[in-house]
Structure 1
Amino acid sequence: MDEKKVKDLTAYNDRFDEDPTSFNDFQASDYVKELKNQGKEDKAIEVGRTFLEQCPELSGYINYYGYALYNRYINIDDEKIAENEKLFYDILEEIASHCRQERYSPLEAAINKAIKYESKKNPVDYKKLSDLLDYLDAPTLEDAPFVNKEGKEFESKKEKWYRMKVRALYEIGNYSECLKQAQIAIGLPLKWHYNNLNWVQYYKACALVKLGRYEEAENVFIALKDKFRAVDFSEILYDLYLHTGRENVAYTQLFYDFFLNGFDYRYVSNYKKIAELAKEKGEERAYTYASAMIKKLEEEHGNTYDVDVDVSEYDANSASYLFDQFYNEIMRHLDKYIERHEGRIVYYNENKQFGSIGLPTEEDNLFFRQADYIYDEEVVRGDTVEYSVIKTFDKKKQAPSSKAILIRTIF
């Protein structure tokens, strides 16, 4: 097959040199398009700018002119952009001022190139990123997921916009607008990918905290806690409870995490918090065990840890042994640290290992799981137990709920 014949532009060139205003809309469009297609971007840009200045009634050539700018100045290596960022953004502004967000327009491609460039910076300039996103009209962006040649599916343009915009708004401190855009995003009938929706929910909750709407934020964090592992929600909730004067709730969360996580250096910060609480409450044995254990753990990881009690008698003991002693001391005296309640087991499903505790002042009984017993005890209906309460999220009802934790049979 013969290669496509390259159009001779001599007549257009001569006419342009003689009188640019003599072009009609079709001729102007055809001329700039052919210049661009033939790789003559500089000439296409010169012609396009001339038409803009001298022929304001013409418009068909605009997107071809914009693509010539895009090819010449925007779609280049990041290193070249960094050499002259001002020129890059001046050209971007030129494209944005003339090209609309429509089919065959270079606007989206140009903005996306700038967004990718800014996103790679460390640290990211979120104000710049937010401003770039504002060039695009989010509601009219494509909402169908992108599928590559291999059939792999990725986020849609609209999904990407809301994911990035919500975070950018939070990072620059525009919490009200962050909340607004997050709520819009959550209400859209989008097919969400990866953890994008969870991130939107997360920044929504963070914005709620900044706006002083603590209970709403707490409910979102709790709903995310068991399904979104990219964020340490235990630490977030602990700080939120302390910040809002709910020390008992914070400490209950802390001790429950201590119970769930067991012996692991990753949770040494929790051990230190509990050790300080033990010291504050005058629980000397628990504090001494904790100090000896943390000292050994930190030394094993090449760190130093100063203690203010004599722990020399435990030099021969391992950190895991000391953790067991510390754990038992804490669990035997939970009432010294957090609120404890008494109740009677009124229902238990042995197969599913969950049940409920009767509450005399409540309509509904309190849910519990056998796994939340402090020790591996046999659960018997009618037993009186001691427990604490933590707020949870009921997935079936899609609403906040509560459950009994740190349970121990009394009789």
Structure 2
Amino acid sequence: MDEKKVKDLTAYNERFNEDPTSFNDFQASDYVKELKNQGKEDQAIEVGRTFLEQCPELSGYINYYGYALYNRYINIDDEKIAENEKLFYDILAEIASHCRQERYSPLEAAINKAIKYESKKNPVDYKKLSDLLDNLDAPTLEDTPFVNKEGKEFESKKEKWYRMKVRALYEIGNYSECLKQAQIATGLPLKWHYNNLNWVQYYKASALVKLGRYEEAENIFIALKDKFRAVNFQEILYDLYLHTGRENIAYTQLFYEFFRDGFNYVFIDCYKKITELAKEKGEEKAYKLGSAMIKKLEEEKEKSYEVDVDVSEYDAYSASYLYDLFYNEIMRHLNRYIERHEGRVVYYNAAKRFGSIGLPTEEDNLFFLQGDYIYDDQEVDRGDTVEYSVIKTFDKKKQTPSSKAVLIRTIY
């Protein structure tokens, strides 16, 4: 097959040199397009700038001129951008000032290149990133997911914009706008990918905290807690409850975390919090056991841990054995740390290992899982009188905040 014949631009060149204002819209567009297509980008840029200055009534060539700028100064290696960032952003501003967000326009490609470049920096300049995103009109961005040659599906342009914009707004402290954009995003009929929607919800809730709307934030955090593992929601909720004067809820969450996590060095911060709480409550035995256990754990990691109480009596024990002693001491005296309630099991499904506790002042009973009994060898029967604490949860079936009984112990 013959190669496509290259158009002779001699007539255009001579005419341009004689009188640029003699071009009509089609001729100007054709001239700049051909210069760009033939790789004569510097000339295409020179011609485009001349038309801008001398022929303000012409517009058809604008996107070709923009693409010439894009090819020459924007679509280059990051190392070359870093060598002269000012030039890169000056050209980007030039493209943004002349090209609209439309089909065959270089605007999206140019902005996305800058976004990608800025996103690789450490730390990221979120103010600059937010400003870059403002060059695009989010509602008109493509919302169909991108599919590569191998058939793998990725986020759409609109999904990506909201994902990045919500975080950028939060990071720069514009919490009201962050909340606004997050609410818009969650209301869109988008097909969300990866954890993008969860991240949007996370920053939405974090913005709500900053705005003092604690209950709304709490409900979102609770809804995310069991399905989004990229964030430590236990820690977030603990801090939120303490910050809002709800110590009992914070401590209940803490002790439930301690109960569920078991023995592992990765949970040492939880052990430290409970040990310090034991000290505050005057629980000397628990404090000594916790201190001895933490000291042993740190020593196993070749770290030091200073304690202000004599724990020499536990020197012969391993960290795991001390954990068992500490756990049992804490669980036997939970009422000294958190609110405990008494109730009667009114329903129990042995096959599915869940049931409910009757609440005399509530219309609905309180749900529980057998796995939340302190001692897993305890049998559960309808009519049992139990002691328990309450934490907030999220009812996935009803899609509403709820509560459940935890740290359950049969009394009789």
TM-score, reference length from structure 1 = 1.00
Aligned to 1:145: 145
Aligned to 1:64: 64
Aligned to 2:76: 76
Aligned pair 1:408/2:409, yes or no? yes
Alignment of 1:300-339 (within 5 A): 300-339=300-339
Pick which of 199-208 and 310-319 moved more. 310-319
Aligned to 1:345: 345
**What is the alpha-carbon distance in structure 1 between the residues aligned to residue 346 and residue 322 of structure 2?**
37
Q: Helix, strand or coil for the counterpart of 2:190? A: coil
State the AA in 2 paired with 1:381. R
**What is the alpha-carbon distance in structure 2 between the residues aligned to residue 113 and residue 46 of structure 1?**
23
**What is the alpha-carbon distance in structure 2 between the residues aligned to residue 86 and residue 79 of structure 1?**
14
**What is the alpha-carbon distance in structure 1 between the residues aligned to residue 299 and residue 30 of structure 2?**
74
Q: 1:20-59: per-residue Cα shift (whole Å, max 9, x none)?
A: 0011111100000000001000000000000000000100
**What is the alpha-carbon distance in structure 1 between the residues aligned to residue 303 and residue 14 of structure 2?**
78
Q: Percent identity?
A: 89
In angstroms, what is the RMSD of aligned CA positions?
0.5
**What is the alpha-carbon distance in structure 1 between the residues aligned to residue 15 and residue 4 of structure 2?**
25
**What is the alpha-carbon distance in structure 1 between the residues aligned to residue 129 and residue 18 of structure 2?**
44
Give, in angstroms, the shift of residue 209 of structure 1. Answer: 0.1
**What is the alpha-carbon distance in structure 2 between the residues aligned to residue 298 and residue 88 of structure 1?**
51
**What is the alpha-carbon distance in structure 1 between the residues aligned to residue 64 and residue 301 of structure 2?**
61
Q: Helix, strand or coil for the counterpart of 1:331? A: helix
**What is the alpha-carbon distance in structure 2 between the residues aligned to residue 362 and residue 236 of structure 1?**
29
Aligned to 2:295: 295
Give, in angstroms, the shift of residue 314 of structure 1. Answer: 1.5
State the AA in 2 paired with 1:401. S
Q: 1:173-194: per-residue Cα shift (whole Å, max 9, x none)?
A: 0000000000000000000000
Aligned pair 1:374/2:359, yes or no? no
Aligned pair 1:281/2:281, yes or no? yes
Give, in angstroms, the shift of residue 63 of structure 1. Answer: 0.2
Give, in angstroms, the shift of residue 346 of structure 1. Answer: 0.3
Aligned to 1:220: 220
Q: Helix, strand or coil for the counterpart of 2:362? A: coil
**What is the alpha-carbon distance in structure 2 between the residues aligned to residue 269 and residue 406 of structure 1?**
20
Q: Helix, strand or coil for the counterpart of 2:237? A: helix
Pick which of 306-315 and 263-272 moved more. 306-315
Q: Helix, strand or coil for the counterpart of 1:87? A: helix
Q: Helix, strand or coil for the counterpart of 2:380? A: coil
Aligned pair 1:5/2:16, yes or no? no
Aligned to 2:365: 365
Q: Helix, strand or coil for the counterpart of 2:212? A: coil
Q: 1:229-281: per-residue Cα shift (whole Å, max 9, x none)?
A: 00000000000000000000000000000000000111101100000111111
Aligned to 1:130: 130
**What is the alpha-carbon distance in structure 2 between the residues aligned to residue 160 and residue 280 of structure 1?**
47
Unaligned stretches of 5+ in structure 1? none
Aligned pair 1:384/2:385, yes or no? yes
Give, in angstroms, the shift of residue 302 of structure 1. Answer: 2.1
Aligned to 2:182: 182
**What is the alpha-carbon distance in structure 1 between the residues aligned to residue 109 and residue 319 of structure 2?**
57
Q: 1:349-382: per-residue Cα shift (whole Å, max 9, x none)?
A: 0111100000111111100000000002100100
Aligned pair 1:208/2:208, yes or no? yes
Aligned to 1:397: 398
**What is the alpha-carbon distance in structure 2 between the residues aligned to residue 303 and residue 191 of structure 1?**
47
**What is the alpha-carbon distance in structure 1 between the residues aligned to residue 328 and residue 167 of structure 2?**
43
**What is the alpha-carbon distance in structure 1 between the residues aligned to residue 44 and residue 350 of structure 2?**
78
Alignment of 1:111-126 (within 5 A): 111-126=111-126
Give, in angstroms, the shift of residue 155 of structure 1. Answer: 0.0
Aligned pair 1:245/2:249, yes or no? no
Pick which of 283-292 and 111-120 moved more. 283-292
State the AA in 1 paired with 2:34. E
Aligned to 1:259: 259
State the AA in 1 paired with 2:85. E
**What is the alpha-carbon distance in structure 2 between the residues aligned to residue 66 and residue 302 of structure 1?**
60
State the AA in 1 paired with 2:381. V
Q: Helix, strand or coil for the counterpart of 1:302? A: coil
Q: 1:283-307: per-residue Cα shift (whole Å, max 9, x none)?
A: 1111111001000111111211000
Q: Helix, strand or coil for the counterpart of 2:2? A: coil
**What is the alpha-carbon distance in structure 2 between the residues aligned to residue 238 and residue 22 of structure 1?**
72
Aligned to 2:169: 169
Q: Helix, strand or coil for the counterpart of 2:292? A: helix
Q: Could you list the structure 1 runs, at least 4 aligned residues long, displaced by more than 3 angstroms after superposition.
A: none
**What is the alpha-carbon distance in structure 2 between the residues aligned to residue 301 and residue 40 of structure 1?**
63
**What is the alpha-carbon distance in structure 1 between the residues aligned to residue 56 and residue 40 of structure 2?**
23
Q: 1:204-230: per-residue Cα shift (whole Å, max 9, x none)?
A: 000000000000000000000000000
Give, in angstroms, the shift of residue 309 of structure 1. Answer: 1.1
State the AA in 2 paired with 1:7. K
Q: Helix, strand or coil for the counterpart of 1:52? A: helix
Give, in angstroms, the shift of residue 151 of structure 1. Answer: 0.3
Aligned to 2:196: 196
Q: 1:50-96: per-residue Cα shift (whole Å, max 9, x none)?
A: 00000001000000000000000000000111111111000000000
State the AA in 2 paired with 1:179. L
Number of residues paired by the alignment?
Answer: 411
Aligned pair 1:89/2:89, yes or no? yes
State the AA in 2 paired with 1:406. L
